Chains A and B, each alone.
Chain A
């Protein structure tokens, strides 16, 4: 049985007269680390805020954890959210933050939280405001994971971290994913980190979903063709995503399988995730989407 951890249909959010997100229809299945990528202002934070119930949709609907309305008590209970700036109360100690979170939730794994903070060398008595940026992020993540959520939502978790802290942070996320089966949805504009962690990709651009699917499938259905630049125009019949010309050579990202024939004089290479994302970001008109989001199939 697979359920959709986040499912939206025709979801839109308008702030004033600007649509931050519009006509967003997607279904993120459970059991993935799903990466939400896109340029700044693409609607990533808006989508996550809608999913965790912080914002109300202007249009459409969003459900979580297999059909629960976003922001409902059951949804809040099952989702842990770490916002972009890793908010913790700066005047409270780490121990107080644990106690606070325990009081505000039905479940809280105090042992796990204390063990994690000890492992990270974060003193329980230190005020959160006096911890380093990386430690504050780790504290916020620890609080979220100690709630034993079914879905962990992270908004730009690594944007403010140095490379080492970034690595440590993602390692903990992946451990939680492996140990407890937590589904993870994270937004990021740091592409380099994604290849290592994400196995599901949603690319947002200009408030719309441009690409959505399992990373494995996306990589298998795209190839980079390299050949003489003068012939690049001949491939209009193929679904070309992006053309990059370097001197006499042209690089074409095309939607094509491994076994599809390659024209004479051209070479076919597999594509990396970062390259794929960049290609789509450069072509806001191109899209790779699954069919209409499947309704969730659950039997009781």
Chain B
């Protein structure tokens, strides 16, 4: 480069605005959203704490041993439905955090035009986006992590009483690792949707839809494939095992799945009405073997970490894509 084209002022003296300045900026601009998340999770936590205390007391009083009739009547009979309802309602929590705390972060800037202010300050637009999103993501995931610990504590008696298993689809993604990871993913989906759609309300709707699709697909199809399931023909599985699929074989070849129309027709053919045998006994007598593929309960933490890891990777990718769009996107 020749002296002719050099800028008038030397650039070596130009140090970037320090990253730490974004801490105040992020807090000041998003404290309402962060407070909203805190109040929302806080209210749910108080509810979980209060009902969780009764659940624990009731379990301690009624469940010696855990599978006794008193336990069924006085503990699972009283609290079981509540436990199920709570876990189902909590499925929406990450989606709501992603939609209402994540989606507006950039969509509001773009919708109201304030990005023209923010992106022309000396801090620099991609650094601004990265710092802001990283801080908010850590805050949101941290709060969700604490909430995940509380929810696991709440669920402990149900697991101990054999009423639910940690692998159950309605509780697995609320676990200590999975819950903050899902919340982080929802937040990342939200910010990217906001950047792409550039309007708050449609971005919120898109976040809810995408999150729901991802969560359903993971629970229904993906999670069981994290590791190759174990295979057994032993009829008594440990109670904590997550059964992936069951089928019958005869003479070493596949006969029919353990559920569905084929087994019904086989039963009516092999054991007509008055045999007095249970379906399983009937099939065993006629030389059928029940095979079960399952994920053992001991893999729970491994699965939590696998789900946490890929969700973290996905979140990093989505946030990186968002920052890249902020850097590239023309006004």
| Nearest CB in chain B: distance from A209 CB, A | 21
Do B15 and A106 touch (CB < 8 A)? yes
A74 within 8 A of B: yes
B119 within 8 A of A: yes
> Which residues between 87 and 141 of chain A lie within 8 Å of chain B, taking CB atoms?
87-92, 96, 99-101, 103-106, 140
With a CB–CB cut-off of 8 A, which chain A residues contact B328? 56
| Nearest CB in chain B: distance from A27 CB, A | 14
A49 within 8 A of B: yes
With a CB–CB cut-off of 8 A, which chain A residues contact B118? 104
> Which residues between 13 and 28 of chain B lie within 8 Å of chain A, taking CB atoms?
14-17, 21-22, 24-25, 28
With a CB–CB cut-off of 8 A, which chain B residues contact A297? 4
A56-B328, A56-B330, A74-B11 known; A105 vs B122 contact (CB < 8 Å)? yes
Interface 0/1 of A69-91, CB less than 8 Å to B: 00001101111110111011111
Q: Please tell me which one of the listed residues A13, A83, A105 contacts residue B113 in the complex, with CB atoms under 8 A apart.
A: A83
B116 within 8 A of A: yes
With a CB–CB cut-off of 8 A, which chain A residues contact B14? 73-74, 77, 106
A101 to B121 CA separation, bound complex (whole angstroms):
8
A54-B330, A56-B328, A73-B122 known; A103 vs B7 contact (CB < 8 Å)? no
B112 within 8 A of A: yes
A74-B11, A89-B29 known; A104 vs B21 contact (CB < 8 Å)? yes
Do A83 and B117 touch (CB < 8 A)? yes
Do B5 and A104 touch (CB < 8 A)? no
Interface 0/1 of B117-130, CB less than 8 Å to A: 11111111000100
A54-B120, A85-B113, A89-B114 known; A105 vs B4 contact (CB < 8 Å)? no
Do A87 and B7 touch (CB < 8 A)? no
With a CB–CB cut-off of 8 A, which chain A residues contact B9? 65, 74, 78
Do B113 and A103 touch (CB < 8 A)? no
A52 within 8 A of B: yes
A73-B16, A106-B122 known; A92 vs B29 contact (CB < 8 Å)? yes
Do A105 and B121 touch (CB < 8 A)? yes
A92-B28, A104-B21, A106-B15 known; A66 vs B122 contact (CB < 8 Å)? no
Do B17 and A105 touch (CB < 8 A)? yes
Q: Which residue of B lies closest to A89 (CB)?
A: B114
Q: Which residue of A lies closest to B108 (CB)?
A: A89
| Nearest CB in chain B: distance from A178 CB, A | 21
A184 to B21 CA separation, bound complex (whole angstroms):
29
Q: Which residue of B lies closest to A83 (CB)?
A: B116
A3 within 8 A of B: yes
With a CB–CB cut-off of 8 A, which chain B residues contact A147? 121-122
Interface 0/1 of A276-300, CB less than 8 Å to B: 0000000000000000000111111
B88 within 8 A of A: no
B32 within 8 A of A: yes
With a CB–CB cut-off of 8 A, which chain B residues contact A206? none
Do A54 and B116 touch (CB < 8 A)? yes
Q: How many A-B residue pairs have CB under 8 A?
A: 113
Interface 0/1 of B99-143, CB less than 8 Å to A: 000000000000011111111111110001000000000000000
Do B28 and A100 touch (CB < 8 A)? yes
| Nearest CB in chain A: distance from B5 CB, A | 6
Do B124 and A73 touch (CB < 8 A)? yes
| Nearest CB in chain B: distance from A208 CB, A | 20
Do A76 and B24 touch (CB < 8 A)? no
A68 within 8 A of B: yes
With a CB–CB cut-off of 8 A, which chain B residues contact A52? 120
Do A76 and B120 touch (CB < 8 A)? yes
A213 within 8 A of B: no
A133 to B142 CA separation, bound complex (whole angstroms):
40
A67 within 8 A of B: yes
Interface 0/1 of B131-172, CB less than 8 Å to A: 000000000000000000000000000000000000000000
Do A88 and B4 touch (CB < 8 A)? no
Q: Please tell me which one of the listed residues A55, A79, A96, A105 contacts residue B123 in the complex, with CB atoms under 8 A apart.
A: A105
Do B121 and A79 touch (CB < 8 A)? no
Do A100 and B25 touch (CB < 8 A)? yes
Do A103 and B24 touch (CB < 8 A)? yes
With a CB–CB cut-off of 8 A, which chain A residues contact B81? none
B8 within 8 A of A: yes
A53 within 8 A of B: yes
Q: Please tell me which one of the listed residues B6, B15, B21, B114 contacts residue A298 in the complex, with CB atoms under 8 A apart.
A: B6
Please name 8 further chain A to chain B contacts, defined as beta carbons within 8 Å, in addition to the given A76-B120, A96-B28, A101-B121, sorted by A numbering: A54-B119, A87-B114, A87-B117, A92-B29, A99-B24, A104-B17, A295-B4, A296-B4
4 shortest A-B CB distances, which residue pairs?
Answer: A54-B331, A83-B116, A104-B121, A103-B21
The contact sample of 6 A-B pairs, CB cut-off 8 A, is: A67-B6, A80-B120, A88-B117, A104-B25, A104-B128, A298-B6
Which residues of A come within 8 Å of B, CB atoms? 1, 3, 13, 49, 52-56, 65-68, 73-74, 76-81, 83-85, 87-92, 96, 99-101, 103-106, 140, 143, 147, 295-300
